[in-house]
């Protein structure tokens, strides 16, 4: 795998409404490419080869940006396939995502590990008024475009967010993002 192959794959994903078929080892090969570029940059730095190090770092940045775009496009297509109920040409990792999305769409129970109730008081200090109660969020927001870190009225920091992220943030922040057409509000059924 190299940057040329990533660029060709991105072009194929952009030009087709269907998922491009990938090797089962695609994501592992990408991880290997990233490791090789990082090692090359580190090796060049140790040898004092400044130009060669910058070349490796530039290639690393390009590879990561290409992969981010490929993943974003493939995720959109996987969501569409999950809504239609048709598994396409998916890698093992993508099949897991598809399965979770299908279960969500079909309102099936997902196997999510739960924390035992008796262990919570040991890790969470009790309030003077009584034990803290956790409530399930009733809404989330889908971010429409990349956003930097944002602050709530209490100056608590959230983000940064990428386009397509599903986030749970305070209602006051969500309201502002929806008003500015930066996010879409999603109700979560209990």
More reliable by pLDDT, 126 or 11: 11
pLDDT digits (tens, 9 = 90+) for 123-163: 444 444 444 555 666 788 889 989 998 888 777 888 899 98
Q: Which carries the bigger pLDDT value, residue 125 or residue 74?
A: 74
Contact 44, 57 (CB under 8 A): no
- Predicted TM-score (pTM) of the model is 0.53
Domains of the chain, each with CATH number or no CATH:
3-106 (1.20.58.1030), 138-185 (3.40.5.50)
pLDDT over 90 for what percent of the chain? 34
Predicted confidence at residue 36, as pLDDT, reads 94
pLDDT at 15 over 60: yes
């Amino acid at each position: 795998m190299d940057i040329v192959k990533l660029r060709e794959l991105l072009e194929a994903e952009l030009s087709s409404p269907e998922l491009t078929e990938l090797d089962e080892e695609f994501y592992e090969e990408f991880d290997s490419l990233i490791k090789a570029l990082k090692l090359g940059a580190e090796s060049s730095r140790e040898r004092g080869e400044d130009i060669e190090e910058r070349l490796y770092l530039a290639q690393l940045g390009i590879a990561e940006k290409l992969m981010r775009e490929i993943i974003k496009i493939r995720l959109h297509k996987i969501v569409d396939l999950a809504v239609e109920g048709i598994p396409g040409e998916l890698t093992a990792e993508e099949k897991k995502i598809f399965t979770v999305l299908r279960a969500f769409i079909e309102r099936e129970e997902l196997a999510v590990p739960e924390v035992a109730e008796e262990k919570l008081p040991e890790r969470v200090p009790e309030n003077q008024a009584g034990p803290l109660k956790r409530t399930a969020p009733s809404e989330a927001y889908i971010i429409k475009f990349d956003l930097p870190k944002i602050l709530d009225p209490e100056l608590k920091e959230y983000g940064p967010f990428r386009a397509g992220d599903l986030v749970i943030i305070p209602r006051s922040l969500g309201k502002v993002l929806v008003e500015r057409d930066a996010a879409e509000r999603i109700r979560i059924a209990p």
